Amino acid sequence: MRIRELAVPGAWEFTPTMHGDERGVFAEMFKASEFEKAVGRPLDLLQINTSTSAAGVLRGIHYTEDPPGQAKYVTCTSGAFVDVVVDLRPGSPTFGTWDSVVLDDVDRRWVFLSEGLGHAVLSLADASTVTYLCSLEYTPELDHEVDALDPDIGIAWPATGRDGQRLTLLRSPKDAAAPRLRDLAVAPRGRR
pLDDT (0 to 100) of residue 190: 36
Q: Give the other-Cβ count within 10 Å of 165's Cβ.
A: 12
Q: What pTM was estimated for this model as a whole?
A: 0.93
pLDDT (0 to 100) of residue 184: 81
List 19, 63, 73, 132, catalytic entry:
132
Average pLDDT over residues 125-135: 98
pLDDT (0 to 100) of residue 188: 47
Residue 189 belongs to some domain of the structure:
no
For residue 37, say whether it is annotated as part of any ligand binding site. Answer: no
Provide the residue range defining the domain that includes 113: 2-183
For residue 47, say whether it is annotated as part of any ligand binding site. Answer: yes
Average pLDDT over residues 88-106: 95
Residue 78 belongs to some domain of the structure:
yes
Average pLDDT over residues 30-44: 96
CA–CA gap between residue 13 and residue 20 (Å, rounded) = 22
Identify whether 132 is a catalytic site residue. yes
CA–CA gap between residue 25 and residue 42 (Å, rounded) = 27
List 62, 63, 73, 138, catalytic entry:
62
For residue 48, say whether it is annotated as part of any ligand binding site. Answer: yes
Q: Contact, 152 vs 120, CB < 8 A?
A: no
- In 3D, which of 48, 11, 51 has the Cα closest to residue 172? 51
For residue 171, say whether it is annotated as part of any ligand binding site. Answer: no
Average pLDDT over residues 29-42: 96
pLDDT (0 to 100) of residue 192: 30
In a 10 Å sphere around its CB, with 0-12 CB exposed, 13-18 middle and 19+ buried, how is residue 118 labelled?
buried
Residue 13 belongs to some domain of the structure:
yes
Within 8 A by CB and 6+ apart from 27, the residues are: 16, 17, 18, 19, 108
Within 8 A by CB and 6+ apart from 69, the residues are: 114, 115, 116, 135, 136
- Per the prediction, the chain carries an average pLDDT of 94
Q: Give the other-Cβ count within 10 Å of 174's Cβ.
A: 9
Average pLDDT over residues 114-126: 98
pLDDT (0 to 100) of residue 156: 96
The CATH number covering residue 48 comes to 2.60.120.10
Q: Does 182 have pLDDT greater than 80? A: yes
Q: How many separate domains does the chain show?
A: 1
Residue 190 belongs to some domain of the structure:
no
Residue 191 belongs to some domain of the structure:
no
CA–CA gap between residue 65 and residue 116 (Å, rounded) = 7
Residue 92 belongs to some domain of the structure:
yes
For residue 19, say whether it is annotated as part of any ligand binding site. Answer: no
